[in-house]
Structure 1
Amino acid sequence: MPPAVLPIVLVIAAYLIGSISFAIIVSRTMRMADPRSYGSGNPGATNVLRSGKKKAALFTLLGDTLKGVLAVATVQQLGFADEWIAAVAIAVIVGHMWPIFFRFQGGKGVATAAGVLLMLDWKLGLAVLVVWLLVALATRLSSLAAIVAAISAPLLCHFLVPNRPAIFGAVLAIAALLIQRHKRNLINLLAGTEGKIGQSVKAND
């Protein structure tokens, strides 16, 4: 394979990795209902938790996080420049949100983004996770925690990962994607109808 082609292949592979929906796979393996058929209809760990199956939600969370870790770690280990690392980071999240294997109907991308950010820079990933955790504990609103964490990510990246414009651009793009995927949640939050973590409701998470 020509060297110039390899990074393009890695970007495509990252999208395909992202397209593996662990919420659906875990649910089928554990003979549970399709997560797209209850709660918010979102194939993600928060909605799987609404089924009452904590183990399934945990497996989903771990699987979706590891997708981001694997994709970014691979391109880093191969020594590619930040521009390609950034492209892979965005591609794996796009794959999760619009998976080719599941009719482009994917999740919100929070867990996969967490894995990506941890690999881009552990300090950045940890800081964003702390923001998510603090908001989630205070409000029990996964969507609000995700939105606040997404908004904080570029600012934290600016201070914690300086002088890496491609990485900052990737974090900014990821934040924008996460917020866009939570636009319905914003409407629910403003209306006071947003479902809380672990609550069996039909509001979008």
Structure 2
Amino acid sequence: MKIIGLIIIAYLLGSIPTGLWIGKRFYHINLREHGSGNTGTTNTFRILGVKAGTTTLVIDILKGTLATLLPVWLGVTEISPLLIGFFAILGHTFPVFAQFKGGKAVATSAGVLLGFAPVYLLFLLLVFGITLYLYSMISLSSVVASVVGIITVLIFPAIHFILTSYDWLFTLIIIIMGLFIIYRHKDNIQRIRNKSENLVPFGLNLSKQIKK
């Protein structure tokens, strides 16, 4: 029963549509009707500004971290904390509080890694940051970090770098998370190909997207 309870709590935590609720409550704006229509961090930054975007980012990360640490704090050892955290990612992507239409799972996935493998998260954040500076696109940075995550979770344990040994559940979930994030960015990938993707106001824009 404890495990079922943790799964439900994790899913409900993930289901909190932070950007959507902040937009409606404090700005009287429905994010679904503006920008990309997404309720995640990037569109919140773009439509509502830095304060709302930062708040959304922090809360969406903490949803994943809290869900992952709950079984540790409660002394539940029958199930991996990573698996509980995964249900927060599902909740974020398919939120019961927002008609099952959620974000792209990047921030909440980062939160799960923060709770389970923080050093590995720092490595992926470095990849994300470098890509963001070079190409000025959050979407591409998310996709590249996901691809690198899929590759390195298979390679790093073999060379004992950051990940010292293979954990089949960790490997499987990282691959699923990575593939899912890539899939959720399929529209962004198409816009990148068309040179029409949204840019952040810094970086080198090496792919020469057309600035809006």
Q: TM-score, normalised by structure 1?
A: 0.88
Distance 1:81 1:59, change over 3 A: same
Task: Name the amino acid aligned to 2:10.
Answer: A
Structure 1: gaps spanning 5 or more residues: 200-205
Question: Are the aligned partners of 2:125 and 2:145 in contact in 1 as well (CA < 8 Å)?
Answer: yes
User: Whose RCO is larger (CA < 8 A, sep 6+)?
Assistant: 1
| 2:195 alignment partner, one of 181, 192, 195 | 192
Determine whether 1:93 maps to 2:80.
Answer: no
Larger-Rg structure: 2
Size of the aligned set, in residue pairs, is 195
Q: Per-residue deviation at 1:113? A: 1.0
Task: Name the amino acid aligned to 1:132.
Answer: F
SS at structure 2 position matched to 1:195: coil
| 1:172 alignment partner, one of 172, 175, 187 | 175
Counterpart CA distance in 2 for 1:72 and 1:146 is 21
RMSD: 1.8
Structure 2: gaps spanning 5 or more residues: 157-161, 203-212
Q: Per-residue deviation at 1:8? A: 2.1
SS at structure 2 position matched to 1:114: helix
Distance 1:83 1:181, change over 3 A: farther
Counterpart CA distance in 1 for 2:198 and 2:111 is 25
Q: Which moved more, 1:16-25 or 1:43-52?
A: 43-52
Q: Per-residue deviation at 1:97? A: 0.8
Q: Deviations over 1:66-95 (max 9, x none)?
A: 101100011233344585323212211111
Q: TM-score, normalised by structure 2?
A: 0.85
Determine whether 1:118 maps to 2:111.
Answer: no
Distance 1:198 1:113, change over 3 A: farther
